[in-house]
Each structure stands twice: as C-alpha cells, then as structure tokens.
Structure 1
Amino acid sequence: MKPLIQCEEWAKLELNGSSSLRTYEDFKLVLESWKANVGKDTSGYFDIRSDFLRPKFWSGILDTPNFTLEVLPIGITSLSQAKRNRLDSSLSEMLSSSKSAHSMTSSATYLSSSASRHDAVLEVFCNDLKLARRRQVLRRYTTVTRTSSSPKGRILFPGQCYNSIQNPGRILSQWVEFTEDVPENRIFKAVLLKFRPRCTSSLRSRIDQLLSELISVNLIEPHLDWPLISLDRLPDTYLSLLSQSRILLDDEGVGVFSGDKRANSEIIFTSRLFEHYMAIEISSISREMGLMSKAQEYGNYVFDDVGIGKSFEMIPDLRIWDKSGKTYCVIDTKWKFLNHQKQDLDISTKDIYQTLVYGLRHNCSDVVLLYPDVTQLTGDTGYYERRTASLAGFRCNVHIAKVPILGENMGISRAYLRDLLTKIKD
C-alpha cells in the first residue's frame, strides 16, 4: 500500500528533511497527478513556491504513482470527533443541495460513516458489479413448466391430456434452464433501484446499464433473500458486493473524508461549493424578505473609456437589491480560515480592497465578507462583527461574518444568514 501524506487545506507541504515531500520530484508528482486526474490548472488550487506547495480550495484524495495525498478540510485537525462528524455531515448536505456539481470521484480511501454521501460508494459498487459479472454471471438451474406451440424438453402427462382439452394446439412441457433470478442478483438490483434517484446523471447512466443486464431478475423484499444466500460457494468479488449491499440497504452511507469505511473518495472543490451553496440559501432568504439577488453578475467594469473599451470586470459573488433597484448589499464569499489572534483577523488586503470596490461601484454602503465557521468554539453558532471603512470619502460598513458549518444541521446556517441580512440595515 502506498504511503499516505495528510495535510489541511491552506497548510504548507514544505520541502525539508522532516517533510513527507522530500524532493522536487515529489512536488512534480503532485502537480502532474492533479493535471492528469482532475484536468484543472494547478495555479488555481495550489500556491507553488520553490520550498513548499500549499493546497487551496479543495479537499479529498489525490493519488500519485509513489504516494497518496489526502487534503483535509480547513480547521478539521483542531476539532473534536463530534465536530468532525458535523463538518462531514454539513459538507455532504451542501454537496447534495448543489447536485454534486462541485466534486468528482477520486481514489479509494477510508471514509467516514457519520454522514450520508452515496455517490462515491455507489461508484465503487458499480465498478465491482461490472467486473464481477465479466468474470462470472451468477445463475442457477431451474425447472420450467410452461405451455407452448411446440414441445420443449419433455411433455408432461397426464397434465397434457387436460391441457389439450383446455388449450387445443398448446403443449405442456417441462425443461431445465439457467436463470439469473437468484437471491444475490435480486439484492444487487434492489441496491441499484434504491439509489438510482439519488445519484448524479453520469452515475445514473451506469446504473441503468447494469439494470438492463438484470432485466430478467425479479424484485422482492431484500430481507427475504438474505437467508437464501450460500456464502461458502461465492467468489470473493461477490462476497465484497454483498457486504457493500448490506451497508447501502441499511442506509449506512459514507461521509466525504477520512473514517472507517473503505470506498472511493471525492475531490471537493470547497471554495466553489461554499460559494454556490451560500448563493442558493441567500437567494431564497432574499425572496422571503422582498429583495432580489443575482450571483456572479457580469457586465460591470472598473474602466469604460471611450475609444479604449471596457476592462477590469468586477464580478461579486452575490448582489442583493430592493424593489427600487437600490443595492441592499454586496456579498463576497471566502473559503478561508480567519485568525482571531490577529487584529486584522488575517483577512487578505486584496479581499478587503476588492469588496470595497464592489460597494463603491454599486453605490452601496454595506458589503459582506462571508467565511465558513469551522472552529471548535463558534462553529455551531457563527461569528459576526462590523467595521467601518473610508475610501476617498466613501464610507462603507464591512460586515465580517462566519457562517456556522458545525451546527446540528444546515438549518442553523440558514437562520444565521437570515439574521445577518436583517441586521445589515439595523
């Protein structure tokens, strides 16, 4: 088994004697594997320096030829096990709400059993079932008794005498044939049918292919089939599939990061996921408040000179306005970890300038920097403070908000966002 290297998002993978990345060849393997497996530009997901790599805006498993890199979500190493489980559950719920558009299946790892994220484990199940059926199709001999226009097997007597009276021209025959309608296949079909509605479209098409192969298999209650299975005569691949089936049918879903169940992991594009989920929630809350909103609004530029054209487009993550068209607030989401030991909270100067320019452009005196709260202390309640900025005579309230991600459920984060939008104008 290849060595496992672990780090958090935004943590440095340093090149030194004590680091797990010992050579520039290790650096190269990480970046090459990212391009090969993910197909995205490395500059957007790594800070690359001569002496360190820093993964950012993603978590999950990246497999290289020599080792496996596991990037854990920001803040997780400082959390208790209970809070880790909540983070796992929240990420799973955010992915489900976003229709899995912000993740992709990656390499096998150990996943948590605290949440209910099924795409990754279903990917493994489909791969294993397809491979198992290539090697050996499970089927049994069965006796078939049926009437037909011509004899098949042996003609049954005295049943044929009565049949000839009731159905002239039809012959009652009995023969032996193979059937795939066996308990194991019925259980596999039950798994596929149960989870087909919950999966992404690409995985659903694979499930449909497998279901077409099992079209002759009937479906009964799985609990009736388990006692009929003889495990001592099954190959290991089918034993593994039955184990996976029991987990899935019992709704023991897997979470999205390290735990105790072996399955395919997912690379989660955490920044995009957080941005997208917040946009969905805030747009819904805005409508309830009689406001309108738009995510990723294009068409606004810093420069718009006659004869030169437009340049430096400004695209805030979310703009909210009232019925008169006046901008209520501008929101920029940041999947980053704030440091409360520092006076500036370790907020990027670039992020502050960018958000103030958004406010200035839309003549809005309220801008919001929205972060995830994944801290042990306030991760289940959230954090908020308001500061005032002055820029060339333009005064602006900067609302620094951390959305609770470690609550009992994501309803807590929704309540926090509703309260945030209300207090902006207080």
Structure 2
Amino acid sequence: MMIEKQRRRTIRCEEWEPIQVGVPGAPLSFAELGQIFKQWKARTGTDPASYFDLRGNSLVPKNWTGVAPGDDVQLEVAPIGSSSLDKPERIALDRNISLMLQASLTGGSMELAEGDVAQSGERMHVLLMAFCRLLAKARRRQIIRKYVPARMATRCTRGRTVFPAQVFESIRRPGYFISEWVALDEDTPENRYIKAVLARFRPRVSGSLRCKLDELLCEFDDVSLVSSPESEWRRIRFDRLPREYSVLLKLGKSLLDGETPGLFSGLANAATEIVFTARVYETFVASKIALIAEARGYRAERQPRGRYFGKWKDGTHIGRSAFELIPDMQLYRDGESPVSCVIDTKWKRLVPTSPQYGISLDDVYQVVTYAARFGHSHAILAYPWIGTGNPLGGTAHYISLPMASAAGKVQVTIIFVPMLEDRFASWQTRVGSLLDSFGSE
C-alpha cells in the first residue's frame, strides 16, 4: 500500500483554489480527473459534482479537505486560508477541525486533551480516542448486563436446588448439589458490538492507543467476539439504552462501516482521509450555539422542515409548495420580551481587506429571506476566520447590519468563528453576550 502511495503524483491546493485541467502544462489531465472522480464516488458514496466545480478547464475543490486518490495521481486539499499559516497555527487549525469532526460524530462537544492531534492530522487516531473515552465514560455510569439462568453442580447450595436432577447427582457424586440461580451476564449484543469495534481497529494502531484498546478489551473478556457485528447491531434496542451508549454505538458503527461523516479510508491509499469541512463546521457551530442559547433560556430548533417560500399559482404545479426553506437553526426565547433568531453557517473564506470582508450578498439575501418568512427580528451569519488577530481590527468581534424588509426590521449580525483559537473558549463567551443582548435593545 505504501509503495502505491509513493508512486502517485501529488497535486496540492486549498479549498476553493482553481486547478487547471486538460490544457498544455496543466497539472491534471481529464483522464486523471476521471480516475479521481471514480474513486471518490466509490469510497464516499457521494456525487463528485457536489464537491468539485468543473467549468471548462478549471477545477475547484469545495467543502472538503484531505487526500482524494486516483490511479496515478492524488489531489491533496488543505483548508481554506491554511497556506498562509505557520506550523503552530496549522497544528491549532488541525486540532480544532478534529474537535469539530469528533463533535459531529458523537452528537455533542468533547474536549481534546493536549497532544491528541498529531501534526500530520491523524484523524482516525482522534476518532478512536473519542470512542475509547465515550466507552470509559459509559461504563463508569452503567455496565450493560442481562439476567440469565445459571445451573451447575456445586459443593453447597446456591439459589435453588433442582429436582429431579439433584437426586441423580447425589447418587453419582454425594455431597454435590445441582443448583440454579439468576446471574448477570455481560454477553449482550451491545457489548459484543463494542468488542468487535475494539478488536477490528487494534491491529491498525500502535503505541498508547493500542495499549488503551488492549486495556478496554480486557474488560470484555467475558463477552463473545463475533465475526458478524452487523447481526448484533440488528439486535440492539436503542429505545432502552442510556444516551451515552447510543452515541458510543453509533460512532462504532460509523467506524466499522467506514461511513463517518467526513472520513473514509481505502486500500488504494493508506491513511486516505477526507473531511467534509462545510458539513462538520455546520454541525459543530450549530451544536455549540444551541448549548449556549439553551443555557440562556432559548429553545433551539435544528434545520426545521416543512416551510416553503410560497406556492405555484401558474403552470402544471398550481397549488404545490415551491422552494423549501431550511435554515441551520432557529432560536426562540419566551417571556415578557420574546426574542427569536435565525442562524445560518457559511464555510467560506473571509477577506478582511475587501470592502465587505468577502461576504457574499447572496448570503445576506438568504438569511434575510429566512427571517422574513419565519418572522424573526434577528438573523446571524456565522463565518470561519482562519487567521490570527481580529478580522475586524480593534476589539469588535461581530458586525451588525440593521435593515428593513417587507416584514419589518431585521437585525443581521455577522459573527466570526476563530478557527485558531484554543477550543473556541472566548468565542463561546462572545456568542453568549450577543444572545443576551437580544431583546434588550
């Protein structure tokens, strides 16, 4: 595998950076691009058209980072804005993207310890560490067992004595009793599936992570190792499981199936990793803002469905709904001064030196349309900031754009998510202060 990987020619670029294709001197031919698209579809199960813009002789990778291999060439895409970063800054960016990926997989935020993310961005290592931590946390709260009947010959009675088996046993071996009792057994579908995950990935890792997997496997000595985890998955009753185990098992399934959001691995390229950055960023930011908002009395709704821009009045679709509106999140706070807000996340590069910071007018139109259609007085657009310092300069950390619409006044706020900040600590504080200010104008 490693020999194959070394033979490939590598083309490096950033997200949204155009690459010339099929012209003299271009780094990529259309035949090689076809190889990349073919393997992309096979490995990720997604349409390449959603992640590549191909116009004429220009190819633009969008909303993903990592390595996409073909037969003879591989495309290595770095996050937007990362080429201008120094080594410590790239490590900080990689750590935060991994934290976002981990949060999107586990359904919540988890803190990364120092050194969790290697400089090369070994995200499989991070995901397995997340699995190990979730497992340890779940077992501290509850060890899943089932009640099973046990029967054996004992030197003293245990539970109840079984007749007529006891009569024959007393003749065959005087002084022994056939006892039967109810025991707790860890050999359940949930535990068998967890053990299958640990056993599957143990040979693929080394060092401290392998030691951790070995330590956890020892706790499952009394659990059967199955060859078909899929059959165990079908036996699991999620409606009876604590949330910690539900999250743990879903992450384990994603790892076993190779379908983790934003990650795939293949035989043709050892350590191939793709992170669907836009999706991971959207999930992470929405989950963080929801936690911050709920702590302040807001009610959060994630990607509500069923609301449309309008209905057709002409043509063959008369009366049918047209253009569904699906904002990333809506916030509601009841009380004497009720407040509502719509939030949309955008994984796009900001340009602090441009007149409008690189913010698209279409993005503003979209969020104002959401606010007008859903009746919100506040709207937030959240962009990543991959750089040092403050993109606005000074001490301001967001932009307010009050404007009027047909439905009334809408306060649009542009916030920046600092992708190099350690665990987004001060950003979370700023978001909380912003939400507190709504309704106090």
TM-score bin, normalised by smaller chain: 0.5 to 0.7
Counterpart CA distance in 2 for 1:348 and 1:63 is: 32
Select the structure with the greater relative contact order (CA < 8 A; seq sep ≥ 6): 1
The residue type paired with residue 333 of structure 1 is T
- The Cα of 1:358 is off from its aligned counterpart by 0.4
Identity of aligned residues (%): 30
Relative to 1, partners in 2 of residues 1:26 and 1:205: Cα closer, same or farther, differing over 3 Å? same
| 1:205 paired to 2:196 | yes
Of the three residues 207, 214, 225, the one matched with 1:246 is 207
Relative to 1, partners in 2 of residues 1:327 and 1:48: Cα closer, same or farther, differing over 3 Å? farther
Q: Is the 8 A contact 1:321 1:329 kept in 2?
A: yes
Residue-pair matches, total = 304
Q: Is the 8 A contact 2:350 2:384 kept in 1?
A: no
Relative to 1, partners in 2 of residues 1:27 and 1:204: Cα closer, same or farther, differing over 3 Å? farther
2:324 corresponding residue in structure 1 = 313
Of the three residues 1, 14, 30, the one matched with 2:36 is 30
1:83-109 residue CA offsets vs partner (Å, 9 max, x unmatched): 11111111111122222689xxxxxxx
1:165-197 residue CA offsets vs partner (Å, 9 max, x unmatched): xxxxxxxxxxxxxxxxxxxxxxxxxxxxxxxx9
Of the three residues 37, 41, 53, the one matched with 1:47 is 53
Counterpart CA distance in 2 for 1:403 and 1:95 is: 15
| 1:348 paired to 2:355 | no
Q: Is the 8 A contact 1:286 1:292 kept in 2?
A: yes
1:99-153 residue CA offsets vs partner (Å, 9 max, x unmatched): 2689xxxxxxxx9437774447969xxxxxxxxxxxxxxxxxxxxxxxxxxxxxx
1:63 corresponding residue in structure 2 = 69
2:429 corresponding residue in structure 1 = 415
1:297 corresponding residue in structure 2 = 304
The residue type paired with residue 209 of structure 2 is L
Counterpart CA distance in 2 for 1:60 and 1:382 is: 33
Of the three residues 8, 11, 14, the one matched with 1:8 is 14
2:294 corresponding residue in structure 1 = 287
The residue type paired with residue 293 of structure 1 is A
Counterpart CA distance in 1 for 2:199 and 2:281 is: 31
Counterpart CA distance in 1 for 2:408 and 2:307 is: 19
- The Cα of 1:279 is off from its aligned counterpart by 1.5
Counterpart CA distance in 1 for 2:120 and 2:362 is: 37
Structure 2 counterpart SS, 1:6:
strand
1:395-423 residue CA offsets vs partner (Å, 9 max, x unmatched): 32221111112112233332232233234
The residue type paired with residue 73 of structure 1 is P
Counterpart CA distance in 1 for 2:288 and 2:396 is: 16
Q: Is the 8 A contact 1:372 1:403 kept in 2?
A: yes
| Aligned CA-pair RMSD | 3.6
Counterpart CA distance in 1 for 2:388 and 2:194 is: 36
Structure 2 counterpart SS, 1:409:
helix
1:226-274 residue CA offsets vs partner (Å, 9 max, x unmatched): xxxxxxxxxxxxxxx79x52253589xxxx9xxxxx9624211111111
Q: Is the 8 A contact 1:374 1:406 kept in 2?
A: yes
Q: Is the 8 A contact 2:98 2:126 kept in 1?
A: no
Q: Is the 8 A contact 1:382 1:403 kept in 2?
A: no
Question: Which consecutive residues of structure 1, in runs of 5 or more, have no partner in the other structure?
Answer: 103-110, 124-196, 212-240, 257-261
Counterpart CA distance in 1 for 2:42 and 2:10 is: 19
Q: Is the 8 A contact 1:6 1:71 kept in 2?
A: yes
Relative to 1, partners in 2 of residues 1:12 and 1:209: Cα closer, same or farther, differing over 3 Å? closer
Counterpart CA distance in 2 for 1:337 and 1:122 is: 30
Relative to 1, partners in 2 of residues 1:418 and 1:347: Cα closer, same or farther, differing over 3 Å? same
Counterpart CA distance in 2 for 1:280 and 1:362 is: 21
Q: Is the 8 A contact 1:368 1:401 kept in 2?
A: yes
Relative to 1, partners in 2 of residues 1:207 and 1:250: Cα closer, same or farther, differing over 3 Å? closer
Relative to 1, partners in 2 of residues 1:203 and 1:113: Cα closer, same or farther, differing over 3 Å? farther
Question: Which consecutive residues of structure 2, in runs of 5 or more, have no partner in the other structure?
Answer: 1-5, 109-116, 130-190, 213-262, 264-268
**Structure of larger gyration radius:** 1
Q: Is the 8 A contact 2:36 2:74 kept in 1?
A: no
1:349-399 residue CA offsets vs partner (Å, 9 max, x unmatched): 3222111100111222221110111113338x9941112333347332221
1:331 corresponding residue in structure 2 = 343
TM-score of the two chains, using structure 2 as the length reference: 0.61
1:371 corresponding residue in structure 2 = 383
| 1:360 paired to 2:372 | yes
Counterpart CA distance in 1 for 2:411 and 2:195 is: 47
Counterpart CA distance in 2 for 1:333 and 1:358 is: 13
- The Cα of 1:50 is off from its aligned counterpart by 0.9
Alignment of 1:71-86 (within 5 A): 71-86=77-92
The residue type paired with residue 417 of structure 1 is V
